Structure 1
Amino acid sequence: MLDLVQLRSFLAIQQTGSFTRAAENLGLGQSTVSQHIQKLEAALDRRLIFRDTHRLGLTPDGEVLAGHARAMLAIDAQVFDLFAANKLRGQLRLGVSEDFATSRLTAVLEDFTRAYPSVDLQLTVALSGVLYEMQDLGEIDLVFAKRRLGDQRGRLVYREPLIWLARDPLQLTAQSAPLPLIAFPPPSITRKLALEALDASRIPWRIVCTCGSLSGLTAAARAGMGVLVQPRSMAPAGLKEIPRDILPPLEDVEFVLVPRNGADQALITALSDEIFSKVGGSLEIS
């Protein structure tokens, strides 16, 4: 088995063209570097370096070894970096809002679990209000969910507008009042904002379908049952945005990260950084 320390000395000699400079670069004595080459040549039973009064270089066998040596040291560095980065371990309880889970969560989880395979992730998908309640009870370590404008809870990741959606907006809104709504149950933030906007504009409404799952609400909206409210970037396929002159504008929402006091800070930081790298910094103003 080849010794990586000896291979490192061998490549240093190739790069510098000198035993002396190679030893200086490696922080070793020249005699130590010479011993490395001697042992390496003995292990392979090949002469790897030629020296004369004018120059120093690699023999043909040395040239062959150099390519393999670089590859072996590169793999060694990759393995070292992998395990150095993966010192994080333990359990992290993540709560994610329903709409984010169906749109962008996959990319976050894929890269995080690849980078930190020793971390056990316990995932809860629910309404933002439910997640905050669970965190208050100590059941979730990190929440990634919505908050209303002006709420100081958590660390802002990005902001975007809410929109009205329907399968056939013009046909649906042309119907006689009240406006049929498809909504999450309380304490949904999008539901509350939708009802506030309609009440402020004195538009009568009725809830025709309630479901805690976005897939269920989407199915109802695609069936033409009523109007659904969602962040613009998370609008389900098959639904169209209702023009602004038909229904009142909706308040923007902010997506935030909220850590639990006392949670493992290293795990919180690692996952928060991953979320920011995927979705942070986008700012959409309605």
Structure 2
Amino acid sequence: MLDLAQLRSFVMVAQTGSFTLSAERLNLGQSTVSQHLQRLERSLGRRLLDRDTHAVRLTSDGEALLPNARQLLALERQTVARFDAQAPRGPFRLGISEDLVSGQLPGLLEDFIADHPSVDLQLSVALSKTLADMQDRGELDLVMAKRRIGEQRGDAILREPLVWLASDPDAILTKPTLPLIVFPPPSLTRVLLMEALERSGVSWRIVCSCQSLSGLTAAARAGMGVLVQPRSLAPSGLREIAPPSLPALEDVEFVLVTARSADHATVSAFSRKVRERFGKGFALNARP
């Protein structure tokens, strides 16, 4: 019979790629997590992980077990939630910054809804300032977005550097006027990159503006110009242009902002999921 505690350790190690991080997030000792994995491998008679001094990777048997392990753990959580009178339920109005719609977000939402099937998710995707305005009007319970360093709104979960990106940096840097691919106002990223260019005296022009990150990414991959994104959200197919080729950019912080009227149980449950996925040192676009 499979042990759920052992499966939880297995899934967390698969997600983080680290026994140390897994132990921290499960609030267990690292030796306990290691014992869970060893016992699980013995009970199944299969090696589930390849371990070396640099990384932990799933074997083919580990890859085969992972979706079933997640389903079993989700079923356990759903069963507990169904009989918990205090479990989150009802509408949950969530706002997500356009920067965050790729990467870990699908898995985050999948885990949250699997754990809390009585929650009715109402998702809004927009620029951070737009989401803040929506929340101020009482339209959102929780916003997951970014802010400028030094601002106080929200509870910071991760600090990230902004970087310049292009499909062919050498070709871009030879142009007499820097071609920019940007979000429209009121984008914070747009504000910060414009300030950096003004301080450095770099000549620029906007060649593409789009509300959608997927649209901006397509333009950058087509070689139209430079795109600015948090480093851990850099789309594939683009290369970073480091200073002094282009001016240094400020860091940004990703934050959770809770409305006063929001249901505490629902917001707390989602916030815990976010911190599990986006803990310190954990890349936003990493795949489990």
The verdict on how the C-alpha distance between 1:104 and 1:283 changes in structure 2, with shifts beyond 3 A counting, is closer
1:236 shift after superposition:
0.6
The structure-2 alpha-carbon separation of the partners of 1:101 and 1:86, relative to structure 1 and needing over 3 Å to count, comes to farther
Aligned to 2:178: 179
Deviation at 1:220, TM superposition (A): 0.5
Structural mapping, 1:154-169, within 5 Å: 154-169=154-169
Post-superposition CA distance 1:52-93 (Å, at most 9, x none): xxxxxxxxxxxxxxxxxxxxxxx9999456633883211110
Structure 1: where are the runs of 5+ without partners? 1-74
8 Å Cα contact 1:89-1:118 kept in structure 2:
yes
Letter of the 2:143 partner, please give it.
Answer: V
8 A Cα contact 2:81 2:115, kept in partner: no
Report the counterpart of residue 258 of structure 2 in structure 1: 259
After superposition, where does 1:28-47 map in structure 2 within 5 Å?
none
**Change in CA separation of 1:127 and 1:76 when aligned onto 2, cut-off 3 Å:** closer
User: Which residue is 1:84 aligned to?
Assistant: 84
Q: Which amino acid aligns with 1:95?
A: G
Match of 2:132 in 1: 132
On the 8 A contact 1:160/1:283 being kept in 2, the answer is no
Give the Cα–Cα distance (whole angstroms) in 2 for the partners of residues 152 and 201 of structure 1.
28
Q: For residues 214 and 78 of structure 1, what CA distance do their matches in structure 2 show?
A: 34
Q: Is the 8 A contact 2:77 2:115 kept in 1?
A: no
Alpha-carbon distance in structure 2 between the residues aligned to 1:200 and 1:150: 20
1:103 matched to 2:119? The reply is no
**Cα distance, 1:243 vs structure 2:** 2.5
Letter in 1 for 2:187: S
What is the distance in 2 between the residues matched to 1:107 and 1:150? 30
C-alpha distance in 1 between matches for 2:85 and 2:78: 11
Tell me the residue number matched to 1:142. 142
C-alpha distance in 2 between matches for 1:280 and 1:128: 21
Q: Give per-residue Cα distances to partners, 1:175-233, cap 9 Å, x unaligned.
A: 11x21100000110111100000100011111110000000000101111100000111
Q: Which residue of 2 aligns with 1:46?
A: none
Q: Which residue of 2 aligns with 1:27?
A: none
Provide the C-alpha distance between the structure 2 equivalents of 1:80 and 1:219, rounded to a whole number of angstroms: 44
Task: Assess, with a 3 A threshold, how the Cα gap between structure 1 residues 76 and 208 changes in structure 2: closer, same or farther.
Answer: closer
- Cα shift at 1:270: 0.8
CA deviations over 1:148-192 (Å, ceiling 9, x no partner): 00000100101010100001001111111x211000001101111
2:237 is aligned to: 238
* Contact 2:159–2:251 (8 Å) recurs in 1: yes
- Aligned residue in 2 for 1:270: 269
Q: Distance in 2 between matches of 1:280 and 1:76?
A: 24
Q: What is residue 152 of structure 1 aligned with on the other side?
A: 152
1:237-275 CA distance string (max 9 Å, x none):
111101322001100000000001111111111111111
Q: 1:106 and 1:172 mapped to 2: Cα distance?
A: 33
Opposite residue 159 of structure 1, the aligned amino acid is: R
Partners in 1 of 2:157 and 2:110 — Cα distance? Answer: 19
Letter in 2 for 1:149: I
Q: Distance in 1 between matches of 2:77 and 2:149?
A: 47
Counterpart in the other structure of 2:116: 116
Cα separation, partners in 2 of 1:77 and 1:114, compared to 1, 3 Å: closer
Bigger Rg, which one: 1
Normalising by structure 2, report the TM-score.
0.69
The residue identity in structure 1 corresponding to 2:90 is G
Once residues 150 and 194 of structure 1 are traced to their aligned partners in structure 2, the CA distance between those partners, rounded to angstroms, is 17
Partners of 2:185 and 2:109 lie apart in 1 by 28
Does the Cα contact within 8 Å between 1:160 and 1:252 map onto a contact in 2?
yes
Q: Kindly tell me: are residues 114 and 185 of structure 1, through their superposed partners in 2, closer, same or farther at Cα, counting changes over 3 Å?
A: same
Other structure's SS at 2:146 match: strand
Q: TM-score, normalised by structure 1?
A: 0.69
